[in-house]
Structure 1
């Protein structure tokens, strides 16, 4: 999000698009802003969808400061370096796939070296302390209660008073106090991730009851309990709860493997900032005897031979990392359990599995889904619909406009309907990607540039999701056709349909060429 004043601008966050392959492709395009105008970045927190393009910015020789809380700066060292390694390894993996032989080589979005350079540009500032990241911009941070170090961003510039929520945490979350910020702004920009969902209010004790039941049920089945988890915050909350349950003899004495080097490093940052957090009580819960940290790849692969273990691995939406490896070895096992504990964006492998797919495609291989698929929604790091509404209400009066962002279309629409009922702001805007607005104190925002409407079509599932589903189930569908000749005919018909699209495209190109000559 870019705020401009005169010839300079300030960025709030610089994150990656996450979701379908088509949406992720946008990360490789040019920035929607001019890096030469950007004097500084103010970062709300260390999740990759908020900080993941900072290394790309640094790779373009941008040398400004990245302002954030001290905990966020500490987490960035590991989060960005890991993102750089993933970019490099993912490019190498794709380039070595047999089905891509002869195609143009993938280039990593940025390197680990770029990521480290970006982290070194971070500059810590205390919550509630005014600072001036760019001449003419006064800024201070407020606790957002989302993850360690997360903040909302208050901005005063050109006589305009703005608050950016960042991602907001729910009430009664482990480790952190509830979100807090002042009231009375010209403009408020609020996230909408769970704008269409009202969760049951669950205490930490009740959440542990839910986890206890899932762990016991999974282990009774005899297989592994595999938990796709986000390396930052969700992992540490699960470790806290498992340690407490084990100490109270409420779960069986089984090994808990944290198979994520990034999560292990993020956990070390939590330990360093333990005195700033709630629910720790001076205990070193992150070094509990039942918890085993898996670092090297060979140790990760040895987990394939286990049954009756708890395996936690990133990424939380199953889009990369070691979790895909464990899914390949456990999804087809009826005795195994896959437990989702976090938000699954549309277009991600996690969402496909959670929505009930019978077969999925993982790294070019088709995998049957026979494992038990379970979900606990009590670990969310995001405020739900009612909590978002309450946070917005507490920011009143909003003299200009309320912007609802960072949510799928249905979530934004639902939250917008709710806040319209009590006239939260003079105008309520759901901006599209690429839109720009003029902000003037005391009056509604005025749109000065329309968004990129075509991008709205790829926010959810895209053609590559549909292809993966089609390819994963094609053999099964063909097997239901009784005769060999009929199967061959079905394949011939499919080829003919595809050829008809290619022929149509060629004919359109020829017609355009003919008109040009005329």
Structure 2
């Protein structure tokens, strides 16, 4: 029985780990590498395995850095099952087809340039047809439903509290009379996050693979974060500008809408027009509304009270490009929630183009911003940003709101690990910047007494 560490060992995207037991090979996640162009080019490198040798794929959740290379796996010959929690299946129907559409568009743009330069054309990384084939192979499971997926190999999904359907994966392995239990954390959310439940406690394992996005940081207290959002909205109201909120389509957008609905009167939102300007976020929000049984207690009470979620009288869902372009004619009084969350593409770029150099405008950054992204440049206070080849001076006020991350901080990660009361697992720290991983490793060993390590890509561990 072996674990091979592959994706998300040298960064925070491209999650993928390989389990081998009883003559079978399983992938835990198969995510897209994101970030700078040179990083994304790594997606075209060959897998360190033959796709037709994979027996099963087990997916922790729908975010594209965990699911986004599954269509490529299918394109290259994988025909087996892809196990996911039921809500994750529905979100992947949105995410993977959208990702495939963007892959096709990117290849078209690239090939226009290559034609002018006399260079050979490239194929898209994968197509919509590849994504659709992958979706047909998905098998949905409920939380807490243990299932034998291969001889001697069983899995169970537990709520990871990150986004709807996000899971920590328990894996039981049997080989030659020996049994081992391995747990993959997936992406763990913060405790007491609205809408979704807290990460579920798991009491025993021999090995745990854990993410470390915020492995050496602590989030701001949530109530203080809510108060800060209210202050930002009041300041923007006074200055009569627009408020841009770059947000990931799945998870963050729904949480922001939840808060805008809950504090509608207190924040004076009747004076604003609120736009959810992301086709993917609009479709994802419907999935959230369709899974009320996965809500936490607070969200369940709110839904019962107002019959739907969110409840914003002035919310406008702008699905079409024409509706999106129309927003940019508004100079004051618009709250625009739009993707992408790190401002690497999508409709938010066009809204920034029209607002970033206007002194009355505001940009509220609510999530992690990776190195090399426009979001990181704004967080670091760069005086200018490049949009569509042109330089724009940053005159809008940029706010960094640190308490809304969908990822748990070091205290949340420690709290989740402390639930392992029946065993002292060997913990393997992945999915984070180098310092974050090493700091979390040291913290786990000192605070919990568990053996912990930071694996490199290609490390092979006999378990």
1:333-378 per-residue CA deviation (whole Å, 9 max, x = no partner) reads 2221111011111222211221121222223222222211111112
For 1:165, the equivalent position in structure 2 comes to 185
Which of 33, 52, 74 aligns to 1:17? It is 33
Which of 206, 215, 218 aligns to 1:186? It is 206
Which of 405, 409, 412 aligns to 1:380? It is 405
For 2:303, the equivalent position in structure 1 comes to 281
- How far, CA to CA, are the matches of 1:213 and 1:353 in structure 2? 20
Verify the 8 A CA contact 1:7 1:37 in the aligned structure 2: no
- How far, CA to CA, are the matches of 2:98 and 2:207 in structure 1? 35
For 1:112, the equivalent position in structure 2 comes to 128
- State the structure with bigger RCO (CA 8 A, min sep 6), 1 or 2: 2
Specify which structure has the higher proportion of helix.
1
- How far, CA to CA, are the matches of 2:273 and 2:448 in structure 1? 53
Q: How does 1:462-481 map to 2 (within 5 A)?
A: none
For 1:35, the equivalent position in structure 2 comes to 51
- How far, CA to CA, are the matches of 2:113 and 2:26 in structure 1? 41
- How far, CA to CA, are the matches of 1:424 and 1:416 in structure 2? 11
How far did 1:107 drift? 2.9
Unmatched runs of 5 consecutive residues or more in structure 2: 1-16
Which of 271, 274, 277 aligns to 1:256? It is 274
1:401 to 2:401 alignment = no
1:359 to 2:384 alignment = yes
Verify the 8 A CA contact 1:10 1:134 in the aligned structure 2: no
Count how many residue pairs are aligned between Structure 1 and Structure 2. 436
Unmatched runs of 5 consecutive residues or more in structure 1: 440-518
Give the TM-score normalised by the residue count of structure 2. 0.90
1:209 to 2:234 alignment = no
Distance 1:200 1:37, change over 3 A: same
1:433 match: secondary structure: coil
1:176 match: secondary structure: coil
Verify the 8 A CA contact 2:260 2:312 in the aligned structure 1: no
- How far, CA to CA, are the matches of 1:423 and 1:260 in structure 2? 42
Structure exhibiting the larger radius of gyration computed from Cα positions = 1
Which of 314, 320, 323 aligns to 2:339? It is 314
How far did 1:106 drift? 4.2
Which of 143, 149, 154 aligns to 2:165? It is 149
For 2:443, the equivalent position in structure 1 comes to 418
Verify the 8 A CA contact 2:187 2:211 in the aligned structure 1: yes
1:47 to 2:63 alignment = yes
Which of 344, 354, 362 aligns to 1:329? It is 354
How far did 1:97 drift? 5.3
- How far, CA to CA, are the matches of 1:423 and 1:255 in structure 2? 49
- How far, CA to CA, are the matches of 1:381 and 1:273 in structure 2? 18
Verify the 8 A CA contact 1:258 1:313 in the aligned structure 2: yes
Q: Aligned Cα RMSD in Å?
A: 1.9
- How far, CA to CA, are the matches of 2:53 and 2:239 in structure 1? 58
1:404 match: secondary structure: strand
How far did 1:125 drift? 0.9
1:63-85 per-residue CA deviation (whole Å, 9 max, x = no partner) reads 11111111111111111111111
1:429 to 2:453 alignment = yes
For 1:459, the equivalent position in structure 2 comes to none
Distance 1:265 1:190, change over 3 A: same
1:40-77 per-residue CA deviation (whole Å, 9 max, x = no partner) reads 11111111111011111121231111111111111111
- How far, CA to CA, are the matches of 1:434 and 1:392 in structure 2? 25
- How far, CA to CA, are the matches of 2:424 and 2:396 in structure 1? 52
For 1:270, the equivalent position in structure 2 comes to 288
1:185 match: secondary structure: coil
Q: Decide which moves more: 261-270 or 357-366.
A: 357-366
1:362-409 per-residue CA deviation (whole Å, 9 max, x = no partner) reads 232222222111111121111101111121222245555210111111
How far did 1:202 drift? 1.7
Distance 1:238 1:42, change over 3 A: same
- How far, CA to CA, are the matches of 1:247 and 1:65 in structure 2? 48
1:240 match: secondary structure: helix
